Structure 1
Amino acid sequence: MAGYDDRDGVIWMDGEFVPWRDAKVHVLTHAMHYASSVFEGERAYNGKIFKSREHSERLIASAEALDMPMPYTVDQIEAAKAETLKASGLQDAYVRALVWRGSGEDMGVASAKNPVRMAIAVWGWGAYYGDAKMQGAKLDIAEWKRPSPETIPVHAKAAGLYMICTISKHKAEAKGCSDALFMDYRGYVAEATGANVFFVKDGEVHTPLPDCFLNGITRQTVIQMLKDKGITVHERHILPEEMADFEQCWLTGTAAEVTPVGQIGDYTFEVGDMTRDIAESYEKLVRS
């Protein structure tokens, strides 16, 4: 497959379609130097973006958290995403909406004089973890920790928050793993590099409390699905040693969807009935 900069098609940029290969920014773009950017990852199924409006609302909230005044409303973002999906010709696709500080009068830490820009790209993207979606992913345990809410806007989907994710995922893949699991700054189980985590014990579900990391839209969807099935869900702080007693585990995220986990570090899990059921139920929901 060609690199992401060398493809046919169009990308929506600042209100108009640009040929894919021409969708470029200047090397002195503020976001490239200071991570002043936020984004959303979304999936379309059968030509419809799942939870599209919630993603657009979160994009604006993330931009506000980074002091970037959005030049578009939720309705305008929704219309732009729909137009871009249609232009792609795809029915099942991944949708990336990106907002960033561009190049302008400022080139230090401050960037209030620089324009806030936006782009939307759509491409085909299969299972994020490949075969692991059926067999169960293997996760490393990251050396880095999710930071305290006092240090960074942890609930924004901001590019800068993914720096330790990239480092940790590279190390995990070098070990033959699909991903890495973070602890938070207090030592509690947090999340994977781009997905939330769930555990099963005695027919009940346990998932980390998202008080220092992103409360994923897929996470929220799956929690409601579990409750609708009459399954008890505990959102709480989880100590890493508790993983020894959990029977099943899965990850959730727009890209990950619902992916079973077979191993985290030295802890192993079965790909059990509840995991398979929630994965199948999620698949039906997004295509309904």
Structure 2
Amino acid sequence: MAGAYDDRDGVIWMDGELVNWRDAKVHILTHGLHYGSSVFEGERAYNGKIFKSREHSERLLKSGEYMDIPIPYSVDEIEAAKEEVLTASGLQNAYVRAVCWRGSGDDMGVASARNPVRMAVAAWEWGAYYGDAKFKGAKLDIAKWKRPSPETIPCFAKAAGLYMICTMSKHAAEAKGCSDAMMLDYRGYVAEATGANLFFVKDGEVHTPKPDCFLNGITRQTVVGMLQERGVTVIERHIMPEELEGFEQCWLTGTAAEVTPVGQIGDYTFEVGALARDIAESYEKLVRA
């Protein structure tokens, strides 16, 4: 499938039924468009099965709770909707997007309690998020925007509004010829990329930022478990940016990114080493098992 995302063949699940892809529309005064009252999940299906699907559905509901968006579907109903979309699309390997938002209704100010909460699920073919970076290592900029304090935003929700600074940071990175950007948190510690978590290797041990003000990704948790099963020491801690000089390898994790080695962050360089390649290959096997 190719072309603009509003002009494709296929179907999208919306509010309990499948509709033609081109007819999956909302009104211009939809609250989510104006105020960011939206949460979502990004998932991947491999050989017709969504990897850790139920965990994604559970997190979607949790994000709704964080954002005061009462999603009117259960985990089982969300699971059924995703399965219906995959079956109707005929796709075996696909990216799956489930999204919930405050729709248009009686409210059009900041408050929106009287507006209905709507939901949609779409699936499409989507290859490697960083292109050939999976083989040669991605190049990252260092963003000027920082992940905010948990006192300022519901940082553990996968919410649309929290990605505004990610979009700006990635645009700036791409303008410099980079694939993505590394973001620091409000304290100056290394946090994450714009849509993926970070891992570093030093002296056979793996160091990863402590997710205390950003999303603890499902892929991140999966990779931590894989490393521990191999007997590799994983240290979750606060990492200062100047420490990057001493790390040997680096990789990104995320549903879209999967496991992608990193070759450069700003002026710091890393080898696409054995552990990074092993985890990337092992993750690929795991999701297709």
Q: Structure 2 length normalisation: TM-score?
A: 0.99
Task: State how far apart, in whole Å, the 1-side matches of 2:199 and 2:250 are.
Answer: 6
Code of the aligned partner of 2:253: T
Code of the aligned partner of 2:239: I
Task: State how far apart, in whole Å, the 1-side matches of 2:113 and 2:137 are.
Answer: 46
Following superposition, which runs of at least 4 residues in structure 1 exceed 6 angstroms of deviation?
A: none
Kindly state the Cα deviation for residue 202 of structure 1 after the two structures are TM-superposed: 0.2
In the alignment, structure 1 residue 170 sits paired with structure 2 residue 185:
no
Match of 1:33?
34
Deviations 1:116-156 (A, max 9, x none): 00000000000000011111000000000000000000000
Match of 1:204?
205
Q: How many corresponding residue pairs?
A: 288
TM alignment of 1:100-249, pairs within 5 A: 100-249=101-250
TM alignment of 1:1-12, pairs within 5 A: 1-12=2-13
Q: Secondary structure at the match of 1:64?
A: helix
Deviations 1:196-241 (A, max 9, x none): 0000000000000000000000000000000000000000000000
- Segments of structure 1 that go 5 or more residues without pairing to the other structure are none
Match of 1:64?
65
Kindly state the Cα deviation for residue 70 of structure 1 after the two structures are TM-superposed: 1.2
Q: Secondary structure at the match of 1:56?
A: helix
Match of 2:262?
261
Task: State how far apart, in whole Å, the 2-side matches of 1:225 and 1:86 are.
Answer: 30
Deviations 1:246-267 (A, max 9, x none): 0000000000000000000000
Q: Secondary structure at the match of 2:84?
A: helix
Deviations 1:260-285 (A, max 9, x none): 00000000000000000000000000
- Segments of structure 2 that go 5 or more residues without pairing to the other structure are none
Task: State how far apart, in whole Å, the 2-side matches of 1:225 and 1:12 are.
Answer: 34
Task: State how far apart, in whole Å, the 1-side matches of 2:69 and 2:187 are.
Answer: 30
Code of the aligned partner of 1:41: G
Code of the aligned partner of 2:9: D
Code of the aligned partner of 1:169: K
Code of the aligned partner of 1:92: N
Kindly state the Cα deviation for residue 2 of structure 1 after the two structures are TM-superposed: 1.1
Q: Secondary structure at the match of 1:67?
A: coil
Kindly state the Cα deviation for residue 106 of structure 1 after the two structures are TM-superposed: 0.2
Deviations 1:27-46 (A, max 9, x none): 00000000000000000000
Aligned Cα root-mean-square deviation (Å): 0.4
Q: Structure 1 length normalisation: TM-score?
A: 1.00
